[in-house]
Amino acid sequence: MKTRIALATVALAAALASLPALAVEVAGVKLEDTAKVAGQDLKLNGAGVRTRAIFKVYAMGLYLGKKETSTDAVLATAGPRRISIVMLRDVSGEDFGQAFLTGINSNTDKAEKSKFVSQTLKLGEVFQAVGGLKKGDALMVDWVPGKGTDIHLNGKSISEPLPDLAFYNAILKIWLGDKPADSTLKPQLLGAKE
């Protein structure tokens, strides 16, 4: 009897493991509940939509090693992290890059920004070189310890790693800082229930 129960438990565990990861749907975009960055499994901390005026610009998910509900806790998180952005409309590379730079400037003090000026300039160049983001494009901005900020567009690397953790945190502050790009998106990324 115990052997049958043990075999049934193993079979059930194997069946559950073979199921696809659950997904959260945000504005018609499915964001997986988990992501793997630098060999580590991350969990979807929160997800929402970036809206500008009345337009939905992109769906976004924040992935961490464990759930966090405050900006300070997210910024202090050790290990890999991921920002996943799926475009809901076309945006020029120049406009997207400018929005990133504005968000960094609005949420990072002058002394801190001076530490990663070259990385900020490189980020602007990356988005300018991309030429534009189209509806459905997927942008992943990962923090990989020992490597840096790794940026991928539709699965393809679009930048050399940017090495400073403070720079990655400045990127996170675009949405999680004191002056977030979208005040309704911030609590969603921090796991607030709608």
The owner of tokens 């559950």 is 16
Q: pLDDT digits over 68-93, tens only? A: 999 999 999 999 999 999 999 999 98
C-alpha distances in Å from residue 9, one per residue of 15, 18, 46: 10, 14, 32
pLDDT in tens, 96-128: 989 999 999 999 999 999 999 999 999 989 988
Q: Kind and range of the H or E element at 122?
A: helix 117-130
Please work out, in degrees rounded to the nearest 5, the angle formed at the alpha carbon of residue 188 by the alpha carbons of 33 and 136: 60
Please state, as a whole number, how many other Cβ atoms lie within 10 Å of the Cβ of residue 56.
16
Task: Note whether residue 60 is domain-resident.
Answer: yes
Is residue 106 domain-resident?
A: yes
Asked whether residue 92 is domain-assigned, the answer is yes
- pTM of the predicted model, to two decimals? 0.86
- Can you give the pLDDT at residue 53? 86
Domain assignment of residue 176, given as a range: 21-189
pLDDT at 2 exceeding the cut of 60? no
- Does 9 map to a domain? no
Give the chain's domain count.
1
The per-residue pLDDT for range 14-71, each reduced to its tens digit, is 443 444 446 899 999 999 999 999 999 999 999 999 998 889 999 999 999 999 999 9
Q: What is the pLDDT of residue 83?
A: 98
CATH code at position 107: 3.50.70.10
Q: Specify the pLDDT at position 9.
A: 41
Q: Is 149 exposed, middle or buried (0-12, 13-18, 19+ CB in 10 A)?
A: buried
Question: β-pairing, 29-32 with 138-144?
Answer: unpaired
Q: Quick check: is 138 in a domain?
A: yes
Q: Is residue 3 part of a domain?
A: no
Please state, in angstroms and rounded to a whole number, the distance separating the CA atoms of residues 87 and 172: 18
What is the structure's pLDDT at 172?
98
Helix (H) / strand (E) element for 167: namely: helix 165-176
Question: 146: Cβ–Cβ under 8 A, 6 or more apart, which residues?
Answer: none
For residue range 171-187, list pLDDT tens digits in order.
Answer: 999 999 999 999 999 99
